[in-house]
């Protein structure tokens, strides 16, 4: 599975949109991009995933570039409860998800 | 409905002892995963079950680690001759493989401390 690169940390003001970048330049055609987050002392939580089209659900939006080498997770109106580590993962087919170090997002009042 | 349940939530043991960690997946989920997470790091894959069989055990660090899922539901992670380096949070997840949304449902984890 392709590796991903994320910034180690970022801050966001409460009520503003949080844009979390992820680079996956070696992604192959059948690999999906997944986003999970992990709030302190909890297990990871699924957010969203996509292949090549942009995706939106009640939690977030996922924007994937046309060449699929990078993506951005958008939290439209960040709240204090969105403070967490966010993981961008690339996976083809079924089986394990390989987590990296993720991005520590801190939402401040 | 009930989520993934892991027991015990905390386990403190002495170096060299044997430990079992249990995972009850969401009912009907055929895939089950074990991960471990050390402080400040992302979850590290250990093993993945599809039904009763281990489909991928490439993440098990050595032969002291073993996992079973005899009836395709509950799974037990077994660690023999524990070492201080085994201290971590052990996470279990399940999913409805066959409807591959990529959505794994994680439990709260079992925190293992080896003294």
Report the pLDDT value the prediction gives residue A2, as an integer from 0 to 100: 65
What is the spatial distance between Cα B12 and Cα A104, in angstroms, rounded to a whole number?
29
| Contact residues, chain A, for B109 at CB < 8 Å | 43
Reported as a single tens digit per residue, the pLDDT across B23-79 is: 999 999 999 999 999 999 999 999 999 999 998 999 999 999 999 999 999 999 999
What is the spatial distance between Cα B22 and Cα A87, in angstroms, rounded to a whole number?
26
The b-or-e profile of A73-108 (16+ CB within 10 A means b, else e) is: bbbeebeeebbbbbbbbbbeeebbbbbbebbbbebe
Nearest CB among A41, A43, A100 relative to B42 is that of A100
Report the pLDDT value the prediction gives residue B113, as an integer from 0 to 100: 98
- pLDDT exceeds cutoff 50 at B99: no
Asked if the C-beta of B108 comes within 8 angstroms of chain A's C-beta atoms, the answer is yes
What is the spatial distance between Cα B56 and Cα B33, in angstroms, rounded to a whole number?
9
Phi, psi of B40 (to 5 degrees): 80, 5
Phi, psi of A82 (to 5 degrees): -85, -5
Reported as a single tens digit per residue, the pLDDT across A1-53 is: 668 999 999 999 999 999 999 999 999 888 899 999 999 989 999 999 999 98
Give the minimum alpha-carbon distance from A54 to chain B in angstroms, rounded to a whole number. 16
When pLDDT is averaged across residues B81-89 and rounded to a whole number, the result is 98
- pLDDT exceeds cutoff 60 at B1: no
- pLDDT exceeds cutoff 60 at A73: yes
B53 strand-pairing partners: B50
- Per-residue confidence band for B98, with pLDDT thresholds at 50, 70 and 90: low
When comparing pLDDT for B98 and B66, which is higher?
B66
- pLDDT exceeds cutoff 90 at B103: no
Nearest CB among A42, A87, A91 relative to B102 is that of A91
Asked if the C-beta of A9 comes within 8 angstroms of chain B's C-beta atoms, the answer is no
């Amino acid at each position: 599975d392709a590796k991903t690169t994320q910034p180690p940390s970022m801050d966001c003001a409460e009520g503003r949109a949080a844009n979390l970048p992820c680079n996956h330049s070696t992604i192959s055609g059948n690999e999906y991009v997944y986003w999970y987050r992990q709030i302190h002392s909890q297990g990871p939580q699924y957010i969203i995933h996509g292949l090549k089209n942009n995706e939106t659900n009640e939690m977030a939006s996922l924007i994937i570039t046309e060449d699929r080498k990078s993506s951005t997770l958008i939290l439209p109106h960040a709240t204090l409860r969105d403070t967490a580590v966010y993981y961008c993962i690339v996976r083809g087919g079924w089986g394990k998800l390989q987590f990296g170090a993720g991005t520590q997002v801190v939402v401040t009042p | 409905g009930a989520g993934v349940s892991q027991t015990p939530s905390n386990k403190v043991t002495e170096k060299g002892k044997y430990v079992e960690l249990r995972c009850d997946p969401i009912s009907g989920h055929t895939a089950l995963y074990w991960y471990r997470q050390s402080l400040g790091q992302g979850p590290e894959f250990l093993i993945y079950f599809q039904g009763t069989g281990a489909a991928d055990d490439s993440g098990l660090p050595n032969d002291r680690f073993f996992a079973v899922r005899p009836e395709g539901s509950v799974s037990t992670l077994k660690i023999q001759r524990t070492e201080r380096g085994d201290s971590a949070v052990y996470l279990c997840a399940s999913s409805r493989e066959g409807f591959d949304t990529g959505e794994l449902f994680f439990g709260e984890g079992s925190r293992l401390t080896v003294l």
